[in-house]
Amino acid sequence: MGTTVAENQDTEARRSGPLANLLKAKEIGIFAGLVILVIFFSLSTSVFLSVDNLMNVVRQVSILGILAVGMTMVIVSGEIDLSVGSVYGMSVVAMSVLMTHGLPIWTSILAALALGATAGVVNGLLVTRLRVPALIVTLGMLNMARGVAMIINGGMVVPLIPRLIKDPALDAFIFIGRGRIMDVVPTMSIAFLLVLILGFIIYQKNILGYRMRAVGGNPEAARVSGISVTMVKIAAFAIMGFLAAFGGIINSGFLGNVQSTAGQGLELDVIAATILGGASLNGGEGTIVGTLIGVLLLGVLRNGLVLMGVSPFVQMVLIGAVLIGAVALDMRSRKK
């Protein structure tokens, strides 16, 4: 019987000491790249290391990071989800419509989270039951969810203001997205930190995370071992849908409005950050810590290029080149 990537990693971890494991970890190389970027931009512009700018970077990567935690689980399970941006938009549009029709804010939020998770479950069911490739399923969901968002509010922008939303909890909702703890740390980043901790516990310290790695590494061996490949993949897609909705809710509080185009194109950044963090498109490999570093690396790169006055079009070229390079290095290390 073949062994899974997860089993090989666990066996190697038992044979090696903590220092050896640390030195072999992919995160070391990714973290080194992040440190080099930080040093480069620190020398290039005096503004980069200011507290305001660093907190701005942390805030900017928070929504991306929330979604990247879910994407890590999907990719490690051997699948991919292109619909996260559209599910994000559909969920917040549904939430705003419920709010403006008199439903309490917290009830509307729960409904949006349920809608996001349901979209994820549908993706998982179509991939596992109908055997349709995830690329096709989630591409279809990308269009369907975006279409639903457009239908719900007719493509209009819904401002989250007291004139439209009478619930007194509106101020608390806006604070979650826009507030700062001690006037320094963005509350949005606190939400990201909580998701990061929960994601780490589920993925790194729970049997579900082990099964995701096993399924992504060798689905047949996992099935023979008694693991329900179908349920594991559905769980990964459901978590992704839930986090897409959660990220959208937090960001809508920051923006103070909701539009049907919310989250458009976000899936590309989420996948890029996850792959930069060391998750393999072949499945079975990836960590939450690596994803965090990948998210920070992408955020630092964009922020530094903006501070240096680099054209947005050039930024797109550079980020695309970095992504291709990361995948190429991953494939080369696998061959070795």
pLDDT in tens, the chain (336 residues): 445 545 555 544 444 444 444 444 567 888 888 999 999 999 999 899 999 999 999 999 999 999 999 999 999 999 999 999 999 999 999 999 999 998 999 999 999 999 999 999 999 999 999 999 999 999 999 999 999 999 998 888 999 988 888 889 999 999 999 999 988 899 999 999 999 999 999 998 899 999 999 999 999 999 999 999 999 999 999 999 999 999 999 999 999 999 989 999 899 899 999 998 888 888 888 899 999 999 999 999 999 999 999 888 888 898 888 878 777 776 676 666
Interior CA angle at 118 toward 115 and 120, to 5°? 115
Long-range contacts of 208-213 (CB under 8 A, 24+ apart): 208/232, 208/235, 209/73, 210/6, 210/10, 212/73, 212/76, 212/77, 212/236, 213/4, 213/5, 213/6, 213/9, 213/76, 213/284, 213/285
Helix axes 229-255, 105-129, angle to 10 degrees: 150
Q: Name residues whose C-beta falls within 8 Å of residue 288's C-beta, 6 or more positions apart in sequence.
A: 69, 72, 196, 199, 200, 203, 204
Q: Residue 268 is encoded by which pair of tokens?
A: 């590309």
Is 19 a member of any domain?
Answer: no
Is 61 a member of any domain?
Answer: yes
Is 279 a member of any domain?
Answer: yes
**Strand spans (E) along the chain:** 157-159, 180-181, 185-186, 257-259
pLDDT attached to residue 29 = 80
pLDDT attached to residue 20 = 43
Cβ of 11: how many Cβ atoms within 10 Å? 11
Nearest to 214 by CA among 13, 12, 9: 9
CA 73 to chain centroid, in Å, comes to 9
- Cα separation, 126 vs 179, whole angstroms: 39
For residue 239, give the amino acid letter: I
pLDDT attached to residue 174 = 94
Is 24 a member of any domain?
Answer: no
Residue range(s) defining the domain that contains residue 331: 5-9+47-335
- Cα separation, 91 vs 256, whole angstroms: 15
- Cα separation, 78 vs 76, whole angstroms: 5
Is 264 a member of any domain?
Answer: yes
Asked if residues 283 and 76 have their Cβ atoms less than 8 Å apart, the reply is yes
- Cα separation, 111 vs 91, whole angstroms: 8
For residue 171, give the amino acid letter: D
- Cα separation, 64 vs 295, whole angstroms: 7
pLDDT attached to residue 274 = 93
Cβ of 164: how many Cβ atoms within 10 Å? 13
First to last CA, the chain: 23
- Cα separation, 27 vs 148, whole angstroms: 39
Burial of 227-260, coded b for 16+ CB within 10 Å and e otherwise, reads bebeebbbbbbbbbbbbbbbbbbbbbbbbeebbb
Is 142 a member of any domain?
Answer: yes
For residue 169, give the amino acid letter: A
- Cα separation, 58 vs 56, whole angstroms: 5
Asked if residues 167 and 105 have their Cβ atoms less than 8 Å apart, the reply is yes
Is 92 a member of any domain?
Answer: yes
Q: What is the pTM of this model?
A: 0.90
Asked if residues 234 and 78 have their Cβ atoms less than 8 Å apart, the reply is no
> What is the number of structural domains in the chain?
1
CATH number of 195's domain = 1.10.3470
Is 318 a member of any domain?
Answer: yes
pLDDT attached to residue 321 = 86
- Cα separation, 39 vs 30, whole angstroms: 15
